[in-house]
């Protein structure tokens, strides 16, 4: 914005401070269980110490990954497939990944509500995730009961003091398990969730533009291998959330609750494939003119000002 001429004839530019972009996504799943339908007991895991358990796990593994990028520099962390007698989930805790001079405003395994509403003061990109527990009651085998937990986090921030930039972050977890039912039963999936999204964009500096996005995604599917028509796909709308910003705004989205899938019938002796996926994603881009461009722009306006004044005096 042109403020006008100073008394000495020097052009001054008034540039508001604080332009920047933030995207943040946190998704936490707690007490994830496969249980008997109608709010019944958690399915028990069969094994040498519990031959009468509801479910036998033929094969199961958990994988997880984090990817972050800032201005073309990318780093990632990924777990190998973690075989587990108690899927999902095997215990995985990936080290936090971070890029940028502002690393990191969040400590390792810090989740919960974001609560950041002020303009950014540094540039960073952060990704983190952790999973633990079992969807089955494995207490008779010396394992856990009470459900599994998965937490994913993705954060990006671009501050105008570092000029333009682009950043992206994602954290995710995938679980695959092959199960055999040991009796006929109707079952359902149940869990609690807490989600926190934030998208912030301030392009108040001259000729500045940008965009930011934060998103969560979660889904599961289970299918009978001998009869693919017997399947359950569950992607609750509460967990499929996206905030996109290309105009200045500050939009938080915080939600929590309990969810229960539809009922699925399992038959004794039949084998089933189970897949679960969870994602947190954040992206931000900010285009800020270089300081040299602002100086050149100002010099051009100064020349126009003097030319106009000269013509008026000559007329």
Tens digits of residue pLDDT in 234-253 = 999 999 999 999 999 888 89
Of 149, 159, 243, nearest in space to 196 by CA: 243
Q: Is the pLDDT of residue 87 over 70?
A: no
What does DSSP say about strands 209-224 and 241-245: parallel, antiparallel, or unpaired? Answer: antiparallel
Is the predicted pLDDT of residue 9 greater than 50, yes or no? no
- Whether the per-residue pLDDT at 257 is higher than 90: the answer is yes
pLDDT of residue 13: 21
Pick the more confident residue, 289 or 75.
75
Cα 303 to Cα 18: distance, rounded to the nearest angstrom: 30
pLDDT at 105: 66
pLDDT: is 38 or 146 the higher one?
38
Most confident listed range (57-71, 87-101, 169-183, 185-199): 185-199
More reliable by pLDDT, 260 or 166: 260
- Two tokens at 8? 């000495």
Taking all residues of the chain, what is their mean pLDDT, rounded to a whole number?
78
Of 211, 216, 203, 217, give the one whose Cα is nearest residue 283: 211
**What percentage of the chain carries pLDDT values higher than 90?**
35
pLDDT grade for 299, boundaries at 50, 70 and 90: very low
pTM of the model: 0.81
| Confidence at residue 304, expressed as pLDDT on a 0 to 100 scale | 31
d(CA 315, CA 313): 6
Strands 82-83 and 209-224: unpaired
313 — alpha (psi -120 to 50), left (phi > 0) or beta? Answer: alpha
| Span 108-129, pLDDT tens digits | 777 765 544 445 567 888 888 8
Mean pLDDT, range 39-44, rounded to an integer: 95
Give 283's pLDDT tier (boundaries 50, 70, 90). very high
CA distances from 291 to 207, 211, 226, 236, 296 (A): 12, 21, 66, 47, 9
Closest C-alpha among 148, 106, 158, 157 to residue 128: 106
Pairing relationship of beta strands 165-181 and 271-287 according to DSSP bridges? antiparallel
Q: Give CA 94 to chain center in angstroms.
A: 15
Burial profile 79-95: b = 16 or more Cβ within 10 angstroms, e = fewer: beebebebbbbbbbebe
Backbone angles phi, psi at 29, to 5 degrees: -115, 125
Per-residue model confidence (pLDDT) at position 309:
30
Residues 6+ apart with CB under 8 A from 264: 186, 187, 188, 222, 232
Q: Is the predicted pLDDT of residue 51 greater than 70, yes or no? A: yes
Listed in sequence order, the residues at least 6 apart from 31 whose beta carbon sits closer than 8 Å to its beta carbon are 146, 147, 148, 149, 190, 191, 192
């Amino acid at each position: 914005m042109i403020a006008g001429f100073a008394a000495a004839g020097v052009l001054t530019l008034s540039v508001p401070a604080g332009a920047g972009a933030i995207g943040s996504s946190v998704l936490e799943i707690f007490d994830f269980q496969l249980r008997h339908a109608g709010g019944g007991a958690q399915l028990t895991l069969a094994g040498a110490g519990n031959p009468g358990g509801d479910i036998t796990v033929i094969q199961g593994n958990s994988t997880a990954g984090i990817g972050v990028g800032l201005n073309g520099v990318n780093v990632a962390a990924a777990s190998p497939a973690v075989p587990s007698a108690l899927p999902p989930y095997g215990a995985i805790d990936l080290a936090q990944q971070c890029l940028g001079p502002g690393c990191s405003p969040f400590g390792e395994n810090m989740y919960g509500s974001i609560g950041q509403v002020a303009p950014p003061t540094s540039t960073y990109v952060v990704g983190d995730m952790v999973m633990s527990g079992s969807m089955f009651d494995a207490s008779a085998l010396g394992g856990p009961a009470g459900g599994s937990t998965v937490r994913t986090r993705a954060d990006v921030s671009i501050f105008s003091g570092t000029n333009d930039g682009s950043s992206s972050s994602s954290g995710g977890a995938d679980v695959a398990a092959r199960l055999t039912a040991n009796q006929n039963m109707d079952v359902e999936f149940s869990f609690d969730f807490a989600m926190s999204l934030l998208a912030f964009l301030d392009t108040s500096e001259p000729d500045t533009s940008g965009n930011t996005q934060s998103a969560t995604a979660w889904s599961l599917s289970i299918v009978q291998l001998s009869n693919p028509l017997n399947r359950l796909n569950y992607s609750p709308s509460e967990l499929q959330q996206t905030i996109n910003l290309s105009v200045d705004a500050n939009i938080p989205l915080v939600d929590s609750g309990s969810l229960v899938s539809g009922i699925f019938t399992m038959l004794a002796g039949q084998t089933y494939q189970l897949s679960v996926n969870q994602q947190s994603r954040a992206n931000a881009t900010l285009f800020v003119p270089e300081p040299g461009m602002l100086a050149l722009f100002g010099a051009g306006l100064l020349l126009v000002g003097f030319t106009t004044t000269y013509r008026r005096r000559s007329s």
